Structure 1
Amino acid sequence: MATSIFGCSSQADEQVGPADRENRVTPSGPLPAWITKDERAMQHSLSLRDDERPGRAPSNGYRVPAEYEPVSAVLITWRDYTDVLGQVAVASAAAGADVFTVAGPSSIRGVPANRYRRLNYSSNSAWSRDYGPVGIDDASHTLGIVDTRYNGYASRPADDAMPCKLAGTLDAPCYTTNLVLDGGNYMTDGRGNVFLTNIVYEWNARWSHEAVDDALKRYLGAKTIHALDFAADAEGGPADGTGHIDMFAKLVGECKVIVAQTSDEPYKSATDKAAAYFRDLACGDGQYQVTRVKGWVSEGTWYTYTNSLIVNDTVIVPFYDDTDKNEEARRAYASAMPRHRVVGINSESTIHSGGSIHCLTHEIPAIR
């Protein structure tokens, strides 16, 4: 697979949706965050066997921290969008995190040498979120990586193999499961509340809903699973190409969430429903504080500001070519995260492929 839990190129020049754009991706070009039509055909030709990857689950002390908890390092894959990745690396290092780069350059300007580590792994795509690492064992105070199956396991085998390779490098256990799960469709508060979209049940159609939930609980420490609706196109597939929760929602603190807001369907219905869900959801002695941030559709591309990365006291937010909307997003994050520095990085080059800052990165939690 690709990820664990820790989970986007060509600009459209006409009115097209993800289903049309995916047919325009060639093998020689950057792979999008979504699985293309040809890749799905390859996937369907394989029979996924649950006895192929037997593995033990983590101990009861294993926990996946919330993304707003302390971060020791940020993982990126130096394959495409290197202008964006370079800026992410600099901002991450400035926020006190090491930078782990898969097949990266010998150095990155602005990243101190003592904070930089090049990993000599092979890869298929730049989407580190979907095949990156996650989690710590609170009982032993050690890192542990869960290796779920990447949704693109058939066509992106190098990406799918990344978690256990990283575990070997970091001298951490690698817990393998046949649960299909992209990291972009996983969000947790670090206390057992797990948020994702119900596309996870489609990815694991060979299993019952109960079996999927059981795997989330056994491997990822989930106690309560909140499955939200994704924005579906006319055929019932994800309108943004992925169906990942990070394309419309972001936990940014204890009982705080940022949710996209738009007048464009089908995203309007899905995001309004998600915002209402969080407002009604008990958290501590109250409910979630919900901050809305603008999202929109242009030439078939869903633009979202929720695809951000939190690195200690900094939040790195995707910006686009619309300065007014960028400023609105900056104010929204500053309001929801007043103790954090907001860094905007132009991600116009990545969003047309179904992802942005969050999709291109994976935080490695700090051991406390």
Structure 2
Amino acid sequence: MAWRMPHERDPHERTWMAFPRAGKTLGEGAEHQETAYRAWSETALAIAEFEPVTMVVDPTETARAKNLLGQDVEIYEAPLDEFWMRDFGPTFVIDDERPGVLGAVDWIFNGWGAPAWAEWQVSAGIARIIAAEVGAELVSSVLVNEGGGIHVDGEGTVLLTDTVQLDPNRNPFADKLRVEAELARTIGTEKAIWLPRGLTRDYDDYGTNGHVDIVATFAAPGQVLLHRQDDPAHPDFAVTRDLKTLLENETDAAGRTLEIIDVPAPATLRDAEGFVDWSYLNHLVVNDGIVVCGFGEPAADARAREILEGAYPGRRAVTVDARPIFARGGGIHCITQQQPRVPSQQPGVPEQQPQVAGGQS
């Protein structure tokens, strides 16, 4: 077996999400909770304009999910306690030596380092449930990791951060060589580019301790999109400046020097909790489109769409207000997980069709 994680721009079969449910992440108060239900639903409906979406829904929320999602999003009932699908769901891979075979990496998920507030034990089992439903071969991993902690170029290079995979609350006995060996086995990467850290807000109590998917991603092999904070009053001004210097001196698995495309942050610096980590890097690339985080700043949101459409030629960018998602610790990329379309078994044979059954309603 030679598993490889495709780039997000490669064709998708569908996108998976998880619907919010009562708990610490949802927060208190009906009005505040409603902002989460609507943000997750608006994201799903935006994606559904481009490709199928399957929403995993805890049975306690089925009626609400059906009301908000209508007929445009498929509902799959399964128990949940968290709803950040990128992080506890499967990371899908393909085997270039076995056309038609889909794999699903099941990382160990411990709620971003097992903080006292986290509820994660139930959702940690979702990756195996989804793998079985879509007929994917399970790729079981001993690494504590989340999908938001890695970004790949699809050709052997992975971006990640020292403070996630080497976090002693995740992998106390890991070093870079061990992490890289496990990533080579599970997602097929040959070169790891380690960033020293992520954005400042991500180190708060409800953060992930430095997920890469809010600060940098590959637009294409050899081409990196990078969050840029232009205001010296924000601590991420120095963070993103240093990350750019590092990346400009890196090469990918093919030996290419990286081209860096800056994606400026919106103008807002703070909210009630402190400096924000609002970032357009936390977008999702879908079939023929890009679903982009919006922050209620029309000029900045439009600039981000223009940059991303240029980085992903032939795709149309749409904006979803992501402020309620960021208020809970993440963005659009964090709540979604793409399932790649696998190549056909033989030339002329139709590509594999979606296989979702059982819990569907």
Q: Paired residue for 1:135?
A: 93
Q: What is the CA-CA distance between 1:230 and the residue it aligns to?
A: 1.4
Q: Retained in 2: the 8 A contact 1:89–1:99?
A: yes
Q: Does 2:109 align with 1:150? A: yes
Matches within 5 A, 1:1-368: 59=1, 61-79=2-20, 81-95=36-50, 97-103=51-57, 105-106=65-66, 112=72, 116-133=73-90, 134-140=92-98, 141-152=100-111, 155-199=119-163, 200-202=165-167, 203-231=170-198, 237=203, 241-242=207-208, 243-262=210-229, 263=231, 264-282=233-251, 286-295=256-265, 297-299=269-271, 300=274, 301-368=276-343
Distance 1:77 1:210 in 2: 33
User: 3-state DSSP class of the match of 1:195?
Assistant: strand
The aligned amino acid for 1:139 is: E
- Whole-angstrom CA distance in 2 between matches of 1:246 and 1:130: 11
Superposed displacement of residue 239, structure 1: 9.1
SS state of the match for residue 124, structure 1?
coil
Distance 1:339 1:254 in 2: 17
Amino acid at match of 1:210: L
**In structure 2, distance between residues paired with 1:108 and 1:168:** 27
How far 1:328 moved relative to its partner?
2.1
CA RMSD of aligned residues (A): 2.5
Q: How big is the shift at 1:173?
A: 1.7
Q: Secondary structure at the match of 2:166?
A: helix
Query: CA–CA distance in 2 between the matches of 1:151 and 1:124?
Result: 12
Once the two structures are superposed, what CA deviation does each residue of 1:261-300 show, in whole Å capped at 9, x if it has no partner?
Answer: 1135432232223223333334568533322122263132
* Inter-partner Cα distance in structure 1 for 2:304 and 2:206: 20
Letter in 1 for 2:146: D
Partner amino acid for 1:136?
I
Contact 2:285–2:291 (Cα < 8 Å) also in 1? yes
TM-score, normalised by the number of residues in structure 1: 0.76
The change in CA–CA distance for 1:211 and 1:344 in structure 2 (over 3 A counts) is: same
Deviation at 1:329, TM superposition (A): 1.4
One-letter amino acid of the counterpart of residue 94, structure 1: E
Alpha carbons 1:204, 1:212 under 8 Å: kept: no
- Give the CA deviation at 1:316: 0.5
1:90 touches 1:110 (CA, 8 Å); kept in 2?
Answer: no
SS of match in other structure, 1:214: helix
Deviations 1:113-159 (A, max 9, x none): xxx43222111122111012221222222111111111418541111
Q: 3-state SS of the aligned residue for 1:86?
A: helix
May I ask how many residue pairs the two structures share in their alignment? 304
Letter in 2 for 1:102: V
TM-score, normalised with respect to structure 2: 0.77
**Higher RCO (CA-CA < 8 Å; seq separation 6+):** 1
> Which residue identity lines up with residue 253 of structure 1 in the other structure?
A
Q: Distance in 2 between matches of 1:240 and 1:266?
A: 18
**AA at the equivalent of 1:152:** G
